[in-house]
Amino acid sequence: MSTHNMKNNFFYSLVIIFLFSLIVNFSRQIYVTWKAGRKLVDLETEILELEEKNRELRAKLEKVQGKDFIEEEAREKLGMTREGEKVIILPTIVPPNFLADTEDRPISNWRRWWKLFVY
């Protein structure tokens, strides 16, 4: 082999190595850019979801702070009334001998229903 031929081979080898490194770096950059774009889309989707949840929570807060809701909660959970109102508590009426049986063994459910409607 001649010296000139060896120099050409060395030069071509350097060019190939250089081009290969450019391709690898370019591929990495494309991947990083694609990954960043994907993350951006995911974050934008998350922002939209959080904004929707925020709107729902604000609407719920507005409802909870309303006079009607406060009054309803006071009536239902605390048993409060308006001034001048009277509370009437009705007793719970249980039909006689509905749940009890003269025998010691338990009664099946269908017999209890039968007793309720027939007797």
Reported as a single tens digit per residue, the pLDDT across 16-26 is 999 999 999 99
| pLDDT, tens digit, 9 for 90 and up, residues 73-95 | 888 888 888 888 887 877 887 66
Tally: H helices and E strands in the chain? 3, 0
Model confidence at 100: pLDDT above 60: no
Cα–Cα distance, 41 to 35 (Å, whole number): 10
CB atoms within 10 A of CB 115: 15
Q: How confident is the model at residue 47 (pLDDT cuts 50, 70, 90)?
A: very high
